[in-house]
Amino acid sequence: MFAEYHFPSGSNRGFWHALDNASIQLGVKNVFNTSPPFDYASALPYSAYGDLRLASYWFSLKKNF
């Protein structure tokens, strides 16, 4: 799950003018913090589609020039 916001051009004043044409993104992978299922047929003890680190979060700021 993630959310993104785009700052429009020319709508910010003062210091916040630096955010013109920028976007902020916040996200969470594995929102419910569940463990990956076991996969007995694989060389690994867990499914390759899961992550043993459980939930992970990220923040991204992108600026177009």
Tens digit of each residue's pLDDT, the chain (65 residues)? 999 999 888 766 777 788 888 999 999 999 999 888 888 887 778 877 788 889 999 999 999 88
Instruction: Tell me which residue range forms the domain holding 39.
Output: 2-63
The answer to pTM > 0.75 is no
Q: 10, exposed or middle or buried, with CB in 10 Å at 0-12, 13-18, 19+?
A: exposed
Number of domain units in the chain: 1
